[in-house]
Chain A
Amino acid sequence: MGSIDGALLDFKRMERLAAGETALHRLDPRAKLLATFVFIGIVISFDNYAVTALTPFFIFPVVMATLGGLPPRYLIRKIALLSPFALVVGLFNPLFDREVLLQLGGIGITGGWLSFASIALRALLTISSALILVGVTGFTPLCRALEQLGTPRLFVVQLLFLYRYLFILTDEGIRLSRARGLRSFGGRGLGIGSFAPLVGHLLLRTWSRAERIHGAMLARGFSGEFHPSRECRFGAKELLFLGGWSALFVILRLYNLPQLLGTLVTGIQP
């Protein structure tokens, strides 16, 4: 996550990107959410050693990021920092799966390396598509899409509340952490002894805040019922978007395009 201030800035940057005004941003969030789900589902449905067949799928993140006007450098840096867990686990594959499956210019490539490459590609594809989804949609519209797709309203409200107070409380957390850091020397005073009251205070303040918010809600006639948010239109454009991408993904799933292309171009007959 890097530095904590950085994480917060990152959040705000995503939010600003999501406020863009491209045609992609204006599309009903449901279409984008569903297309991303189809994409991820199909990407992970490939078998363990699929490498070439996965590469054409980069068309989705590249086109989406471009249409949405997301800065590529920012996305690449963010993706590179994310989720090393899959890669670490994947790195064990070459150790356990040492059977040579492929000869490439006299070098034998083992199944382990192939499947590692496959895991890395999957990670890149799935992570980038999720980030781009947020970048071209924004959190609040995504929550609305979830509601319209049948998520219980209580949970949607929970997501919105969390997001609303995220910035305020993380700011508070950063200030607390900084105040403690300024008065601790040589790592002293950073242990659990100071952590518990520090975070405990934050918890109590959070609790009181919840009570005040509840008061403010009651003061405006809240009776336990949230009113549904406005409907968006799922029209022809959305249908075309979802249908087009899904069709492309299915075709790419069924035909290994790069292999075909390579065979055609090189004329090498296996």
Chain B
Amino acid sequence: MHMADALLSPAVGGCMWLVSAGTIVYCSRRVRRELDERRVPLMGVLGAFLFAAQMINFSIPATGSSGHLGGGLLLTILLGADAAFLTMASVLVVQALFFADGGLLALGCNLFNMGFIPAFIVYPFIYRKLEGDDPNRKRMVAATILSALAGLQLGPFAVVLETWLSGISALPFSAFLLLMQPIHLAIGVVEGVVTIALLRFVHQARPEILARPRGDAPGNALLVAFLAAAIFTGGALPWFASRHPDGLEWAIAHATGEEKLKDSKRGIHQTLAALQTRTSFMPEYAFRSPPKRVSDNRQSAGPEEKSAGTGTAGVIGVLLTLGAILGSGVILKKLTHPALR
């Protein structure tokens, strides 16, 4: 359930990036302040462990399918929230770079969905509360299962929310939610069971690992900051996006102090504007329609009015462009690697 760049709007992606980057800085400071330098190699190898553990599958009885460990909750219980977030973050960075799981911009969302939620929401507010001050086995089991479930409901919920706010996918919010949540209910149960089994094994073999001090609960400042960011993303930015469907053009127009960018009479603008008038190219290219959120306007400029010719011109233009790019690639290759030819 990695969030993907392709489904993300710059506003949502950028906002989640800021939240996640801020959390990384915050956690790094806290881990440093604890001055337990044993944590440094431990976090590193546990990140690598998560990769290795995910290479080992287990079969799920009566379903014929197989699963693997997610690990966010396990790490948080072993390391505490700050170190676990950093560890998860490092895993997700490597996944984004090498397996392009999600992508670089979606990294912000993914860090939040799979790192922040288990470490800073589920762990302090569900796990620690259920486990209580005097944890016994029953409480541990209940806390672990419920935390796994909560983590794997909140994570996908965040994915749905981020996708919906971005508005790239046309899936209605409720339909997407119905698609994601039930599947992750099952995944959550499996994750909970696996986490308990692993914790029990560790507890028997080396009880001192689980008895380590786990760091205190995260400060409230972070949560407040997060809530502010969430409200900002949830409220202000979509409004901004719908009022100014084309953020970049809007920003540039503002920066240059001109409302209508196409009127600009300098440099390449001028040449291209001249080209446009000569070929009487439509000022707003025909492929584009008003963005979804202002769909009421669409009726007035009915699709029938758009000539078939523009579509054809677009297709031919695309073919020419791609041809030119591939051609330049081949020429470049000949130029830079003559030995290969």
Answer whether A and B touch in the complex at a CB cut-off of 8 Å.
yes
Are A192 and B103 touching (Cβ within 8 A)? no
Q: Does A29 lie at the interface of the complex (its beta carbon under 8 Å from any beta carbon of B)?
A: no
Are A269 and B280 touching (Cβ within 8 A)? yes
Q: A92-B171, A130-B104, A158-B90 are in contact. Are A102 and B55 (CB under 8 A)?
A: no
Are B51 and A166 touching (Cβ within 8 A)? yes
Q: Does B336 lie at the interface of the complex (its beta carbon under 8 Å from any beta carbon of A)?
A: yes
Nearest residue (CB) in B for A264 is B279
Are B320 and A258 touching (Cβ within 8 A)? yes
Cβ-neighbour of B6 out of A4, A86, A214, A266 (below 8 A):
A86
Nearest chain B CB to A117 CB, angstrom units? 10
Q: How far is the CA of A100 from the CA of B303 in the complex (A)?
A: 6
Cβ-neighbour of A210 out of B8, B45, B61 (below 8 A):
B45
Are A206 and B281 touching (Cβ within 8 A)? no
Nearest residue (CB) in B for A160 is B44
Binary flags per residue of B194-228, CB closer than 8 Å to A gives 1, else 0: 10011011100110010000000000000000000
Q: Does B313 lie at the interface of the complex (its beta carbon under 8 Å from any beta carbon of A)?
A: yes
How many chain B residues touch the partner (CB < 8 A)?
127
Are B43 and A99 touching (Cβ within 8 A)? no
Q: A44-B8, A82-B99, A165-B45 are in contact. Are A115 and B90 (CB under 8 A)?
A: no
Q: A63-B328, A172-B52 are in contact. Are A45 and B248 (CB under 8 A)?
A: yes
Q: Does B297 lie at the interface of the complex (its beta carbon under 8 Å from any beta carbon of A)?
A: no
Q: Looking at the complex, which of B122-130, B141-149, B230-238, B285-293 is the stretch in contact with chain A?
A: B285-293
Are A165 and B48 touching (Cβ within 8 A)? yes
**Which residues from chain A contact B320 at a C-beta distance below 8 Å?**
258, 261-262, 265
Nearest residue (CB) in A for B14 is A41
Cβ-neighbour of A66 out of B172, B201, B281, B333 (below 8 A):
B333
Q: Does B186 lie at the interface of the complex (its beta carbon under 8 Å from any beta carbon of A)?
A: no
**Which residues from chain A contact B309 at a C-beta distance below 8 Å?**
266, 268-270
| Chain A, 153-186, CB within 8 A of any chain B CB | 153-155, 157-166, 168-170, 172-174, 176-177, 180
| Chain A, 240-257, CB within 8 A of any chain B CB | 250-251, 253-257
Are A130 and B96 touching (Cβ within 8 A)? yes
Cβ-neighbour of B41 out of A187, A217, A259 (below 8 A):
A217
Q: A49-B287, A157-B40 are in contact. Are A85 and B1 (CB under 8 A)?
A: yes
Are A102 and B303 touching (Cβ within 8 A)? yes
A residues bordering B, Cβ < 8 Å?
Answer: 1, 4, 7, 10-11, 14, 22, 36-37, 40-45, 47-53, 55-56, 58-59, 62-63, 65-67, 69, 79, 82-83, 85-86, 89-90, 92-93, 95-97, 99-106, 108-109, 111-112, 114-115, 118-120, 122-123, 126-127, 130-131, 133-134, 139, 142, 151-155, 157-166, 168-170, 172-174, 176-177, 180, 187, 190-192, 194-200, 202-204, 206-207, 209-211, 213-214, 217, 222-224, 250-251, 253-270
Query: 22 pairs across A/B with beta carbons < 8 Å?
Result: A41-B10, A48-B167, A49-B288, A50-B288, A53-B285, A55-B322, A82-B99, A83-B100, A86-B4, A108-B303, A169-B51, A195-B197, A196-B197, A199-B69, A202-B49, A210-B45, A214-B37, A251-B268, A259-B287, A261-B321, A266-B312, A270-B280
Pairs of residues from A and B, 6 with the lowest C-beta to C-beta distance, nearest first: A161-B44, A262-B317, A258-B317, A173-B52, A200-B201, A196-B197
